[in-house]
Amino acid sequence: MKVQIITPGKRIDTHTVREASRACWGDLLEAGVEIFEYQPTMFHCKLLVVDEYLVSVGSTNFDSRSFKLNDEANLNIYDRDFAKQQTAVFADDLKESQQITLEAWLHRPFTEKLIEKCIPLLESQL
């Protein structure tokens, strides 16, 4: 199974949310998930393509607030042609993204590691 995730890079509207997201990347990277940060602009889309058949698109963020508090909505589309189109869009976005390797994540600056340790105190508000 191949899992690739594109997240916002440094051009983001809420840096605290970015840091909260990055705090859990170690486990994902160790499990073989490929993580990329989109570079050119703010990246706010939420798209999931599974098995070149299911496409889920909507407002749901992958965080506690979206799952437990916010009113979010996603549309699930079961269509191979649409999935193929969205996979092509994703591939184009990958070209504009920088991959975060486990090696790079492990050697990130101490200040980032410190911030990530404090994030759980705010998790319910993020």
Strands of the chain, DSSP E: 4-8, 34-38, 47-50, 54-58, 74-78, 97-100
| % pLDDT > 90, the chain | 43
pLDDT in tens, 46-94: 888 999 999 999 887 776 667 777 778 889 999 999 999 999 999 999 9
Give the CATH number of domain 4-125. 3.30.870.10
State how far the Cα of 104 lies from the Cα of 102, in Å rounded to an integer.
5
| % pLDDT > 70, the chain | 86
What are the structural domain ranges in the chain? 4-125
pLDDT in tens, 77-86: 999 999 999 9
Query: Helix, strand, or coil here: 121?
Result: helix
The pLDDT of residue 47 is 87
| Helices 110-118 and 15-22: angle between axes, nearest 10 degrees | 90
Ramachandran angles phi, psi of 101, nearest 5°: -90, 160
The pLDDT of residue 13 is 67
